[in-house]
């Protein structure tokens, strides 16, 4: 691994009272692998699966989510690949992720999605096509989906709600990574689960005004060059505990976020 590794991560998380964590595929180049090479993608997925396995061994419930981040496709465009070539490769990455789900190694496909940075309209169209493809594949294999998206509030949420509705994915099987608090109502009331980053100042406080219709994430990247990005998962647990002890949320609210909503997405039982 590139940082403290899954075993130490699990131990620190468990010491703080953490009981469940999702391990999501990184970028190929984060693991010194080759963008645009399907064998490198397979190795990246295997690292993700193995990390979740180790965490489970340490007594923390963990599931793996594998897929190609939109930055992978964008990097290939930057290197001169044609749009159709990028589309075909990214679809192969989704198909491979579906194999891992079918084989019981992974629970979900992700992070797939679209760039959160400015790109030409035709590039955004390409990634929207890939989202629709990914949602369709996920529906076929019974996978959950983690989506990487721009942060345009209700506009972003509405576009995803529309896609999910058209494809017909199972309620709450699609998670909007790094969602904004303002997107919670639109997403949650339409069977899409928003995930609020705990590392963004003031966003959790804003999110709870909308009720417990979301989950929380650390978005931790185990990379020594980016210490604590965004926040470590054990810090997330500590922060949630402090919100309860300070009376900002109560135990029931916490249970809705961290048990009921997690069970709703992943279909597994969370026990403390």
The reported pLDDT for the residue numbered 86 is 99
CB of 176 closer than 8 Å to CB of 157: yes
pLDDT of residue 224: 60
- Rounded distance between C-alpha atoms, residue 104 and residue 118, angstroms: 36
Which residues of the chain, if any, have pLDDT below 50?
1, 228
The two tokens of residue 144 are 């959950």
Domains of the chain and any CATH numbers = 5-266 (3.20.20.140)
Position 35 scores a pLDDT of 98
Q: Are residues 146 and 175 in contact, defined by beta-carbon separation less than 8 angstroms? A: yes
Taking the whole predicted model, whether its pTM rises above 0.85 is answered as: yes
Sign of CA dihedral 148, 154, 159, 162: positive
Residue ranges of E strands in the chain: 20-24, 61-66, 108-113, 144-148, 174-176, 193-197, 215-217
CA dihedral 173, 178, 179, 181 (to 10 degrees): 130
Among all chains, which residue has been given the structure tokens 């099987």?
173
Among 7, 121, 122, 15, smallest CA distance to 56 is for: 7
Confidence at residue 1, expressed as pLDDT on a 0 to 100 scale: 45
């Amino acid at each position: 691994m590139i940082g403290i590794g899954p075993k130490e991560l699990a131990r620190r998380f468990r010491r703080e009272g953490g009981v469940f964590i999702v391990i999501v595929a990184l970028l190929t180049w984060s693991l010194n692998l080759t963008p645009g090479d399907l064998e490198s993608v397979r190795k990246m997925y295997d690292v993700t699966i193995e990390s979740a396995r180790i965490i489970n061994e340490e007594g923390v419930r963990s599931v793996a989510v594998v897929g190609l981040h939109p930055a992978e496709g964008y990097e290939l465009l930057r290197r001169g690949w044609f749009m159709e070539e990028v589309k075909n490769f990214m679809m192969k990455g989704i198909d491979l992720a579906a194999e891992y789900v079918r084989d019981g190694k992974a629970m979900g496909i992700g992070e797939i999605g679209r760039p959160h940075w400015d790109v030409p309209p035709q590039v955004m169209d390409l990634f929207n096509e890939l989202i629709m493809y990914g949602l369709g594949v996920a529906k076929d294999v019974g996978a959950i989906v983690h989506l990487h998206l721009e942060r345009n509030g209700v506009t972003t949420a509405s576009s995803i709600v529309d896609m999910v509705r058209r494809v017909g994915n199972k309620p709450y099987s699609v998670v909007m990574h790094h969602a904004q608090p303002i997107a919670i109502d639109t997403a949650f009331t339409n069977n899409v689960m928003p995930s609020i980053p705990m590392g963004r100042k003031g966003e959790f406080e804003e999110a709870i005004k909308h009720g417990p219709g979301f989950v929380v994430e650390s978005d931790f990247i185990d990379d020594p060059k980016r210490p604590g990005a965004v926040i470590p998962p054990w810090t997330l647990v500590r922060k949630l505990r402090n919100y309860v002890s300070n009376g900002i949320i109560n135990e029931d609210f916490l249970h809705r976020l961290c048990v009921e909503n997690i069970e709703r997405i992943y279909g597994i039982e969370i026990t403390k």
